Amino acid sequence: MSGKQDLTPPANIDSEDAWVSVIQKMDEAYADLVHSQVEVEEKNTELEEARSFLHSIQSAMSDVLIVCDQNGVVQGVNRALEQLTGRSEEELMGARFTDLIATKYHSKISSFMGQLRIQPVRDCEVELIGRDGLVPLSMNCSPRHNHRGRLIGMVMVGRPLGELQKAYKELNAAHAELKLAQERLVQSEKMASLGRLVAGVAHELNNPISFVYGNMHALQRYTDRLCAYFDAINEGNSREQLKAMREKLRLDKAIRDLNSLVEGTMEGADRVKEIVNDLRQFSSTQESEKAVFDLSHVIKTAMHWIIKESKAPIDVVETIPTDLTAFGHSGQIHQVVVNLIQNAVDAMDASDPKRLLLSAQIEDRKVIFEVRDSGPGIPDDFLSRLFDPFFTTKPVGQGTGLGLSISYGIVSEHGGELVIQNHPDGGALASLTLLTEERCEESNRA
Ligand SMILES: Nc1ncnc2c1ncn2[C@@H]1O[C@H](COP(=O)(O)OP(=O)(O)OP(=O)(O)O)[C@@H](O)[C@H]1O
Ligand SMILES: [Mg+2]
C-alpha cells in the first residue's frame, strides 16, 4: 500500500491535463484502498482462525488454565476451570486469581509472581474452590512476557489431583493383582513340582515304614515267646524244663536282638519324621525370616527324591561338601534346586549314558551350586527364552514352563544369580549362586 497521495495539479500543466492526473491519482489511491481492505479482511480471517484454534485447544484441555496479569487479575480461563468452579468465563474474568484458591494457600501462591522471575513454578499443590467443594490441583506456573520481553503476568495450568490419585489407585490395584497372580503362579508351580515328587517321597517313606513294620513283627513274635516262658515260670516248671523251653524258643537270641530291634524302629520313625519335615518345609506358603540353612541337606534331599522317581537309572556324581550353608529361605531354594535337577533329569530322558554331575563350592563368600547333565543341551534359539514364563519344550501335562522363571525370581530376590548355558563338552550346565550370611549382610549395609 502506498502513502498519502499528493492530489495538487502541477502549476506548469494546463488544467485539463491536471485533472486527468488528479483522477489517475485518485484511481490509484482507490485501488490501494481496496487492496488494503482485502489485506485487512484476510488478516482478520487469519486472526479469527487462530483464535478459534486456540479456543478449541483450551476447551479440550482437561487441566484448568488461568491467565493473569502481573497483579493477579484473571485475564483468561478455559472451560475446564468454568466447569470445576461452576462460574462462567464472564464471572471469572477480572477476578483475582487468589479468590479461586483456598485461603490456606494464599501465601504460597502470592509468591508465584516473584518466583517466576527466577524460574517457573512446578507441581505446587493447592486447592481450588470448586463447585462441589475443594479440588486438589497440582499447579504449574509459567511467566507471560510482552513483545518486548517484559514480564506482564503468568499462565497457570492445574491438573486436578483427583484424576492423578484415581490413576495412582488403579495402578496400585493392578500392581496388587499382579503380585497376587505371581504368588499364585509360584504356588501352583510349587504344587506341580510337589506332585512330581510325591511318588519319590512315597518310595522314600516306604523304606523306613517297611523296616519299622518288619521290626514290629519280630518284636511281636519275641513278645509271644517271652510271655509263654513267663507263663511256664508261673506254672512252677522245673529248672530243666525252663532251660529246654528257653533253648527251644531261642530266647537268648531274642533278648540279644531286642535292643537293635527297638533302635532300628526308632531310627525308622526318625527317618519318617525327617521326610515329613522336608516335605512340610517344601510345601509351606508362609516363609519365615531368611536364615542360615543347610544347603547340602537341601540339595541331597532334592536329588534323592528326584532320582528315586526317575524311570531309568541315572549315574549321579556328587561333590557336595557336608557342611555347606547358605542364607535365605530354605523352602524356596529347595524349589529352585528341585527344578534344576528335574530339568537335567528330564533332558536326559532319551540320552545314554545318563550322567548327572552335582557340585558345590564356596568362592568369595558366595556358594556356587552346579548341575550338569549329559543331555542334548539347549538349542541356541531357546537360550534367551529359558526364563520366560510358560516357555517349555515339554509335552502338555509334563511341564508348565514356569520352573525357571519362578526360580529366577526367587534367586534374584536372594541377591543371587542363576545362569543356564551349554557346556563346551556337551549337555547343559546350570549354575546357582547364593550369598553366604556375611556376604548378604555386607550387601545390605552397602
Ligand atoms: N538341562 C536342560 N537341558 C535342556 N533343556 C533345558 C534344561 N533345563 C531347561 N531346559 C529347557 O528350558 C525349558 C524351560 O524350563 P522350565 O524349568 O522353566 O520349565 P519346564 O521344565 O518345561 O516346566 P516346569 O519346570 O514348569 O515343569 C524346558 O522346557 C527345556 O526346554
Ligand atoms: Mg522345569
How high is the pLDDT of residue 57? Answer: 84
How would you write 29-60 as a 3-class SS string? HHHHHHHHHHHHHHHHHHHHHHHHHHHHHHHH
C-alpha cell at 309: 522317581
- DSSP assigned state of 327: E
Residues with CB under 5 A from ligand 2 (ion): 339, 343, 403
Instruction: Verify whether ligand 1 is closer than 6 Å to residue 428 (CB atom).
Output: yes
Rounded to an integer, the average pLDDT of 179-206 is 71
- Interior CA angle at 305 toward 322 and 410, to 5°? 75
| Residue from 306, 314, 341, 343 to probe ligand 1 pocket by mutation (most atoms less than 8 Å from CB) | 343
Instruction: Verify whether ligand 1 is closer than 6 Å to residue 394 (CB atom).
Output: yes
Q: Who wins on pLDDT, 3 or 278?
A: 278
C-alpha cell at 148: 518486548
C-alpha cell at 302: 532334592
**Cα–chain center distance at 277:** 31
Q: Which residues contact 14 (CB under 8 A, 6 or more apart)?
A: none
Which protein residue's CA is at the shortest distance from atom 10 of ligand 1? 343
Rounded to an integer, the average pLDDT of 41-59 is 87
- DSSP assigned state of 439: H
Which protein residue's CA is at the shortest distance from atom 5 of ligand 1? 378
Question: If pLDDT is split at 50, 70 and 90, which confidence band does 1 have?
Answer: very low
What confidence tens digit (pLDDT) does each residue in 373-427 have?
A: 999 999 999 999 999 877 899 887 677 788 898 889 889 989 999 999 999 999 9
Is it true that the peptide bond before 353 is cis, omega within 30 degrees of 0? Answer: yes
Q: Who wins on pLDDT, 169 or 121?
A: 121
How high is the pLDDT of residue 327? Answer: 92
**Cα–chain center distance at 20:** 91
State how far the Cα of 228 lies from the Cα of 250, in Å rounded to an integer. 12
Pairing type for strands 121-130 and 133-145 reads antiparallel
Q: Residue 153: name the closest of 121, 116, 123, 188 by CA.
A: 116
Contact 362, 396 (CB under 8 A): no
Please list the helix, strand and coil fractions of the chain in percent, rounded to the nearest 5, in that order. Answer: 55, 20, 25
Task: Count H helices and E strands in the chain, helices first.
Answer: 13, 12
Q: Who wins on pLDDT, 71 or 277?
A: 71
Percent of the chain with pLDDT over 90: 43
When the pLDDT of each residue in the chain is averaged and rounded to a whole number, the result is: 86
Distances (CA, A) of 317 to 300, 311, 314, 371, 445: 12, 18, 10, 10, 38
State how far the Cα of 174 lies from the Cα of 186, in Å rounded to an integer. 18
Kindly give the distance from the C-alpha atom of residue 327 to the centroid of ligand 2, in angstroms, as a whole number. Answer: 23
How high is the pLDDT of residue 316? Answer: 95
State how far the Cα of 391 lies from the Cα of 403, in Å rounded to an integer. 9
Fold classification of 287-446 (topology level): Heat Shock Protein 90 (3.30.565)
Distances (CA, A) of 206 to 57, 272, 273, 338, 414: 78, 9, 13, 21, 35
Which amino acid type is present at position 93? Answer: M
Which amino acid type is present at position 409? Answer: G
Contact 141, 124 (CB under 8 A): yes
Highest mean pLDDT among 59-68, 161-170, 263-272, 416-425: 416-425
What confidence tens digit (pLDDT) does each residue in 275-330 have?
A: 777 666 555 555 567 889 999 999 998 888 788 778 889 999 999 998 899 999 88
How high is the pLDDT of residue 2? Answer: 45
How high is the pLDDT of residue 400? Answer: 75
Residue with the three cell numbers 536329588: 303
Residue 77 has pLDDT above 90, yes or no: yes
Kindly give the distance from the C-alpha atom of residue 397 to the centroid of ligand 2, in angstroms, as a whole number. Answer: 12
State how far the Cα of 413 lies from the Cα of 411, in Å rounded to an integer. 5
State how far the Cα of 406 lies from the Cα of 400, in Å rounded to an integer. 11
Instruction: Verify whether ligand 1 is closer than 6 Å to residue 347 (CB atom).
Output: yes
Using the atom order of ligand 1, give the atom closest to the CA of residue 400: 26
Kindly give the distance from the C-alpha atom of residue 279 to the centroid of ligand 1, in angstroms, as a whole number. Answer: 23
DSSP-assigned states of every residue in 70-138: TT-BEEEE-HHHHHHHT--HHHHTTSBGGGGB-GGGHHHHHTHHHHHTTS-EEEEEEEEEETTEEEEEE
